[in-house]
Amino acid sequence: MRDLINRLEVTDNATAGALRVIEERASVAAVVRAMATLARCAAGLHDAIPLLSEA
């Protein structure tokens, strides 16, 4: 996400600013879902840190 924001700053600063706000407030899963919807394609997410189960 940070890399995408850095690239967009060069060509579209308004979009980069919007992504900065999203990055601070949205979960990674929510961002992936939104980008997949906007791109009209499937997307997946593999989280390397497993969720801790409650005992």
| pLDDT digits 0-9 by tens, 14-42 | 888 888 888 788 888 888 888 788 889 99
Q: How confident is the model at residue 43 (pLDDT cuts 50, 70, 90)?
A: confident
The larger pLDDT score, comparing residue 25 to residue 50, is at: 25
Do 31 and 1 touch, CB atoms closer than 8 A? yes
Q: Whole-angstrom Cα distance, residue 12 to residue 16?
A: 6
Model pTM score: 0.49
The larger pLDDT score, comparing residue 7 to residue 35, is at: 7
Do 19 and 1 touch, CB atoms closer than 8 A? yes
Do 32 and 43 touch, CB atoms closer than 8 A? yes
